[in-house]
Structure formats: structure tokens, C-alpha cells
Amino acid sequence: MQRILLVVVVLMGVLGAIVGGMYVAQRSLIYHPSPGPLPSASDVLPGGEDVTLHTSDGLALSAWFFPANGSANDAGTDGAADAETSPVVLVAQGNGGNRGGRVDLARALTRHDISVLLFDYRGYGGNQGDPTEDGLARDVRAAYGYLVSERDVPRERLFYFGESLGSGVVSELATEHPPAGMLLRSPFPDLAAVGSEHYPWLPVRLLLKDRYPVADNVSALDDVPMVVVYGTDDSIVPPALSEQVAAAADMRRVAVEGAGHNDRVLLDGPELIGALVELVASTTR
């Protein structure tokens, strides 16, 4: 009996150490930033502009603005003028990489006469700071503020694109500053739902510091057209979780057959780009 008790105590101690270690290191498990430096926007796409965003807690974040149908498509002066009245998509990336990995998305959208703002969160792309849910909320508000205050983008021309974790970022922003429309790619009801899929033996909901309640956010929105796009073979954010988000606000669903979470088709594939272009066209025509 004593030996059994000893084994139980040891196992509980090991489990406690594992749980404690994961609690302390949880943000390093959630956020996977790629560092900088990055090239200038004009080197990435012709016509691109380097932008600095200023957060409410004093950080300066690097970003790129790509005008619609600009010199990237040899549009000339008329194209530049069109860019001033074009729809604009604010892109909130997922938890990995930096804005350099989203250039193909921007290229595809500008070809459809849509302007794009790509920005890096704190701690990403050479930016100062450490990523947290509160910090990313400040970061996306800096991006929103730039578009509204410095580029005079009205709500009827402003759209949000949230990629995975970025769905939590833009859906929270939308509760305070509703856009003309919003596309969520591979969203989850909340971060704990994803954690529970990967760590079913952990009390994830008790341990998580960052929540990202996407389903609650979208269910609180009125009169914002929304679309959910997801891959049917996504093993990181299972399709059923994205379906739950869509059901929370009766959103249109676009299922990309055979696509995994990080597959190229979910970055700039025809289904995703088509869904976003259709969303923009339906609200701006």
C-alpha cells in the first residue's frame, strides 16, 4: 500500500510539474513570431507603402499598405486615384510568422481592386513587445486608427480579415468598431476549445490567460456580413470548431475540401479570395 501511495504521489508531482510548466510557458506555446528585419513595402510589391502604427501603450509597429490596382498592376495614375476610393481590407494574421508571409494574399486582393493593410503584432516582424491578448487588441486598434484617421477610410469601405488567431483579434475589434464586412479563416469558438483538442488531459479553461472568445464576439454583432472559410482536413483548428463560429452568427460557410490549416490554398487560393471578393462586392455595389 505504501508503495502504491508513493507511486501516486510521484505521478501527481510529475503531472503538477508539467501543468505548472505549461502554465508558465503557455504564451510561448500560443505565439510563434518570426523576427525581422523585413524589406520595404515597395520592394515587396510595387506601389507598396511603409507604415508605422502607434499603439495606446507607446509601441511603434511596422506595417505595409498596398493600394488597390496600383503600380503593382501597372495601373498608372488612374490606378492610384482608384486606390483612394477602393475597399480596404485590414488583415490580422495568425499566430505564426510575420506579415511577409501574407504578401501573396495582398497581391491577390490588389488585383481585384482592393487595398490591403498588413501589419505585425508586437513581438512579430522585429517589433518591440511581447504578444498577449490585450496587447494584440491594442495593436489592431492602432491599425484601425491609421486607416480611419490617416487614410480617411469610412466604415462602408473597411473590411476585416482574420486568420486563425487573427479571427479573435478582428472579431473583438468589430464589437467596438464594426466593419462593412468580415471574413474569418479557420476560426475557433475560443482559444480554450483549440487547447482542449490538443491537450485533452489538461484543465485548459482554468489555465489559459488569453481567451479570444470569437463565437461570443460574432454573436454580439448586428448587421455585419460575415463569412467563415476553413479547410476540411485542418488538424490544428478542426472544421467542427469553425462550424461552431459560423453557427453562432448564422454566417456563410466556405469549406475548402482537403485543405489543412497551413496549406497555401487557405492563404490565397481561389475559394478564399473568391469569398472575400464576393463579400466586398456584395456590400459595396
Least confident of 1-10, 231-240, 263-272: 1-10
What is the predicted pLDDT for the residue at 26? 80
C-alpha cell at 123: 513581438
Rounded Cα–Cα distance for residues 237 and 78 (Å): 42
Condensed to tens digits (0 to 9), the pLDDT of residues 125-139 reads 999 999 999 999 999
Mean pLDDT computed over every residue of the chain: 90
Q: Could you identify the residue written with the cell 448586428?
A: 222
With a CB cutoff of 8 Å and minimum separation 6, the contacts of 120 are 33, 36, 61, 62, 63, 93, 98, 99, 126, 127
Rounded Cα–Cα distance for residues 166 and 249 (Å): 18
Positive or negative: CA dihedral 144, 282, 167, 80: negative
- 5 — pLDDT class (breaks 50, 70, 90): low
**3-state DSSP assignment of residue 174:** helix
What is the predicted pLDDT for the residue at 85? 83
- 244 — pLDDT class (breaks 50, 70, 90): very high
DSSP string, 206-262: HH-S----HHHHHHT--S--EEEEEETT-SSS-HHHHHHHHHHTT-EEEEETT--TT
Q: Could you identify the residue written with the cell 471578393?
A: 277
Domain 34-284 annotated CATH 1.10.630.10: no
Task: Please check whether residue 256 is in contact with residue 271, taking contact to mean a CB–CB distance below 8 angstroms.
Answer: yes
What is the predicted pLDDT for the residue at 193? 97
Give mean pLDDT, residues 22-44. Answer: 88
Inform me whether the pLDDT recorded for 10 exceeds 50: no
What percent of the chain has pLDDT above 90? Answer: 80
Sheet holding 252-256, edge to edge: 49-54, 60-66, 115-119, 88-92, 158-163, 181-185, 226-231, 252-256
Condensed to tens digits (0 to 9), the pLDDT of residues 80-118 reads 445 568 999 999 999 999 999 999 999 999 999 999 999
Give mean pLDDT, residues 68-89. Answer: 61
What is the predicted pLDDT for the residue at 31? 97
What is the predicted pLDDT for the residue at 197? 94
- 77 — pLDDT class (breaks 50, 70, 90): very low
Q: Could you identify the residue written with the cell 510561448?
A: 28
Condensed to tens digits (0 to 9), the pLDDT of residues 184-197 reads 999 999 999 999 99
With a CB cutoff of 8 Å and minimum separation 6, the contacts of 66 are 41, 45, 47, 48, 49, 72, 106, 107, 109, 110, 115, 116, 117, 118
